[in-house]
Chain A
Amino acid sequence: MRLTGTTIISAIVLLAFAYTGYEASTWHDRSRLFAAVLLGPALVASVVQLGRELRRKTPEVTPAEARITPGALAWFVAFFASVWLFGFLVTIPAYSLAYVRFAGRESWLRAGVYAVLATAFTYVLFVNLLKVSLPAGALLGGAT
């Protein structure tokens, strides 16, 4: 028996269907009609899938497009953390400058021009034209 990523996903899927079944039992008859049709086959198929994964002997190959380096993941997390803490209008120039300069290894000048253009694009398109109210971050009292 191997406990691999896909085994865990199979177990999560089975649990999700089981939980939906439990929840659906409290719904009105009309509300649960569709769920009732789905959940029988869903539970059977997820048990079959979990059984297959538990019996699997060879690990699955990771597709090239799913490989992520720790550096890429760190930059990704940093962007969303910064949006949460400082909001869009601080994150976009700061992140663009830092990413293009350090991850892209461009000159400070290029990174600076890029940051200015990205900020101008955001401001003109989203704030001015589309009237999207971009919030300040949690540290600046704007996150909701």
Chain B
Amino acid sequence: MEVFVGSLFTILQWPTFGLLLLGVFIGFWVGILPGIGGAVTLALMLPFVFNMQPIPAFAFLLGMHAVVATTGDITSVLFGIPGEATTVATILDGHPMAQKGEAGRALGAVLFSSLLGAVIGAAALALSVPVMRPLVLAFGPPEFFMLTLLGLSFIVALAQSNLVKGFLMALLGFVLSLVGLDPFAGSPRLTFDQLYLWDGLNIVPVVIGLFAVAETLQLMTTGSAIASHATGRLAGVMEGVKDTLRYWWLTVRCSLIGVFIGFIPGMGGATAQFLAYAHAQQTSKHPEEFGKGSIEGVLAAGSVNNSKEGGTIIPTVAFGVPGSTSTAILLGAFIILGLVPGPDMLTKHLDVTFAMVWIIVLSNLVAVAVSFLFLRQLVALTFVKGSLLVPFLLLLITIGAYTTHQSFADIVVMLVFGVVGWAALRWNWPRAPLLLAFVLGDTSERYIFLSHQLYGWSWLLRPGVIVLFAIAVGGVVYSVMRQRLVLARLAAAAEAAS
């Protein structure tokens, strides 16, 4: 309890709180402006935390990340354009409400339910610590290795029709993590006689290349303004807040769905939103109103959005297994800051874990308060032309990569991975498994090495290892079966139609 309260005071100190506000400010823009993803921005901001202490660094990064989905809902409601991929379900009822002249009520509901969702997600993260601690401390290197594989299998399974491609990208990510001086014998591996590669590939140019380059090129291709039509009336915001309190039990239930889905690596925010939306429709007294401007639909989508953040952070902190692309990048921040996710985060660095809880709550409080105060001005931001963002983004991605070693070689690495990222996008090779495996590569190698040193190959027969392996295989098999079932149904439907 002392650590829990102490971490709040640490965040409220200067410059940590200032960095949190800066992160919230950037997250605001990113959430509102479609075309700049939360994961991309997180990647762009990684170089800035090199010289920071862990809590100020997470105040900046997590503060930014935590509000992206909150403000992403604003454009979903007003223009039917999701600010983020994870705010798509908000459009289904939020935008019809805006079209009916109830934009203010929809925004009030979605923003306030987002705030409550964030608080519930953060509470789940805090409450998970005593539960997770004995579990994590009972695990040895073999179980941790299997956990990394389990997390990876969920991400690979998400590739659906491209399962083999997802699997290959994950293995490629592991191979890329081998580049550099080997940590056990000190001999160079895959360095092609380049001194630059002795340190290994740094996560910053790799992440920026894989994600930001393709997105910037896309913005350069489209170049148009994000929104082009009027927003209508913005009155009735307080009515939306009251709606959230009126349907408080729905908000709580959908928030808990978000926490649960977030906890499962690879399930993704969009999945969580649609699951909560479907749950709200199933339990509603007026399911026929869904899709036409139902306030319950808006509340479900809003509350789940932020509660999943607490959920995704639990496996990242406790096991070093990120639940999403964004948390995989956040795991990169752990590495940069010299923190090792796992038992240490629940014992030695418990203050950092609890600080994360407070950061999620405080950043959302600030974001929602500012959204309510400056709603009309924020809407104006969406009329910024894409072409005005391009030079700024190019500047950030280039200098962001360059600052890794202050060398042009960093920019070359970024461009190489930019080509890889674009080619992967163009020919449907999933990028997330490559990134996740690259991030987890060092840890996985260390765990497999320790397992082999301690138990020989008999570690493969440990009960925990067998159970985790069965879950991983079961997850992939289930995904394949489900995909085949869908294809069979589609084929049957096409045959019936013809």
Question: Given that A65-B214, A83-B411, A126-B399 are contacting pairs, would A100 and B185 also be in contact in the complex, using a CB cutoff of 8 Å?
Answer: no
Q: Is A58 an interface residue (CB 8 A)?
A: no
Partner of A103, one of B48, B184, B387, B425: B387
Instruction: Give chain B interface residues in 385-399, CB to chain A under 8 Å.
Output: 385, 387-388, 390-392, 394-395, 398-399
Residues of B within 8 A of A37 (CB): 448
Bound CA–CA A8/B408 (angstroms): 29
Chain A residues with Cβ below 8 Å from B216 are 76
Known: A9-B423, A118-B395. Is A72-B220 also a contact (CB below 8 A)? yes
Kindly provide the distance from the CB of A12 to the nearest chain B CB, expressed in whole angstroms: 9
Most buried by B among A24, A31, A73, A103: A31
Asked if residues B429 and A9 are in contact (CB atoms below 8 Å), the reply is yes
**A67 and B182 alpha carbons, distance in the complex (Å):** 39
Q: Are B171 and A34 in contact (CB under 8 A)?
A: no
A26 to chain B, nearest CB (A): 9
The segment from B38-46, B97-105, B161-169, B263-271 found at the interface with A is B161-169
The one of B167, B178, B391, B399 that contacts A35, using a Cβ cutoff of 8 Å = B178
A139, CB-defined interface residue at 8 Å: no
CB nearest to A67 among chain B residues: B221
Are B164 and A52 in contact (CB-based, < 8 A)?
yes
Q: Of residues A24, A35, A84, A88, which shows the largest number of chain B Cβ atoms within 10 Å of its Cβ?
A: A35
* Interface residue total, chain B, C-beta cutoff 8 A: 53
Contacts of B174 in A (CB 8 A): 34, 38
CA distance A20 to B190 in the complex (A): 7
Contacts of A69 in B (CB 8 A): 221
| Docked-complex contact B172 and A95, CB < 8 angstroms | no
CB-based contact A33/B426 at 8 Å: no
Please provide the chain A residues from 111 to 134 with a CB less than 8 Å away from any CB of chain B in the complex.
114, 118, 121-122, 126, 130, 132-134
Q: Which residues of B contact A144 (CB under 8 A)?
A: 407-408
With A46-B168, A75-B220 known as contacts, the answer to whether A34 contacts B394 (CB < 8 A) is no
- Establish whether residues B448 and A34, one from each chain, have CB atoms under 8 Å apart when the complex forms: yes
CA of A41 to CA of B398, assembled, Å: 36
Which residues of chain B come closer than 8 Å to A88, judged between CB atoms? 398-399
What's the Cα separation between A16 and B192 when bound, in Å? 13
**Contact partner, B214, options A66, A80, A105, Cβ 8 Å:** A66
User: Which listed residue (A9, A17, A84) contacts B408, Cβ 8 A?
Assistant: A84
From known contacts A72-B221, A132-B403, A134-B399, infer whether A41 and B171 are also in contact, taking CB-CB under 8 Å. yes
Minimum CB distance partner of B35 in chain A: A65
- The distance in angstroms between the C-alpha atoms of A16 and B220, with both chains bound, is 32
Taking CB atoms, residues of chain B closer than 8 Å to A79 are 394, 398
Question: A122 and B178 in contact (CB under 8 A), knowing A5-B426, A31-B187, A42-B168?
Answer: no
Complex Cα gap A4–B428 (Å): 13
Q: Chain A contacts of B380 at CB under 8 A? A: none
Quick check: A104 and B423 within 8 Å, CB to CB? no
B423 and A31 contact, CB distance less than 8 A: no
Chain B hits for A83, CB < 8 A: 398, 411
Find residues 72-119 in chain A having any chain B CB closer than 8 Å to their own CB.
Answer: 72-73, 75-76, 79-80, 83-84, 88, 92, 95-96, 99-100, 103-106, 114, 118
In angstroms, Cα B429 to Cα A4, docked, is: 14
Given A27-B182, A92-B395, A144-B407, verify A100-B388 contact (CB < 8 Å): yes
Q: Does B364 contact A (CB under 8 A)?
A: no
With A9-B429, A96-B391, A103-B387 as known contacts, state yes or no: A31 contacts B398, CB within 8 Å: no
Say yes or no: is B347 at the interface (Cβ < 8 Å to chain A). Answer: no
Interface centre among A20, A37, A63, A88 (most CB of B within 10 A): A20
Q: Which chain A residues lie closer than 8 Å to B236 at the CB level?
A: none
Determine the chain A residues whose CB is within 8 A of the CB of B178 once the complex forms.
20, 34-35
Instruction: Give which listed residue, A45, A63, A118, contacts B168 with CB less than 8 A.
Output: A45
A73-B217 contact given A83-B411, A103-B387, CB 8 Å threshold: yes
The CA-CA distance from A92 to B392 in the complex, in Å, is 9
Q: Are A122 and B452 in contact (CB under 8 A)?
A: no
- A3 within 8 Å of B (CB atoms): no
Contacts of B4 in A (CB 8 A): none
Interface residues of A in 22-49 (CB under 8 A from B): 23-24, 27-28, 30-31, 33-35, 37-38, 41-42, 45-46, 48-49
| A143 beta carbon closer than 8 Å to chain B | yes
Whether A33 pairs with B449 at a CB distance below 8 angstroms is yes
When the two chains form the complex, which single residue of B165, B185, B395, B427 contacts A31, counting CB atoms closer than 8 Å?
B185
- In the bound complex, do residue A28 and residue B171 qualify as a contact, i.e. CB atoms below 8 Å apart? no
Q: Which residues of B contact A4 (CB under 8 A)?
A: 427
Residues on B with C-beta less than 8 A from A73 are: 217
Q: Are A6 and B175 in contact, CB atoms less than 8 angstroms apart?
A: no
| Distance of A16 Cα from B429 Cα, bound (Å) | 16
Q: How far is the CA of A46 from the CA of B171 in the complex (A)?
A: 10
- B residues 411-434 with Cβ under 8 Å of A? 411, 415, 422-423, 425-429
Q: Does A54 sit at the interface, judged by CB under 8 A?
A: no
Docked CA distance A143–B91 (Å): 48
| Nearest 5 pairs of A and B residues by beta carbon | A104-B387, A72-B220, A66-B426, A6-B427, A31-B182
For this complex, 19 residue pairs linking A to B, each with C-beta atoms less than 8 Å apart, are A6-B428, A13-B172, A23-B189, A24-B189, A28-B184, A31-B187, A33-B449, A38-B171, A76-B217, A80-B411, A80-B415, A95-B394, A103-B220, A118-B392, A126-B403, A130-B48, A130-B403, A132-B406, A133-B406
Taking A45-B164, A104-B387 as given, write out 20 further A-B residue pairs in contact, using a Cβ cutoff of 8 Å, ordered by the A residue number. A6-B429, A9-B429, A27-B182, A28-B182, A33-B452, A34-B178, A34-B448, A37-B448, A38-B171, A41-B167, A42-B168, A52-B164, A65-B218, A68-B221, A79-B398, A99-B387, A103-B223, A106-B388, A122-B395, A130-B48
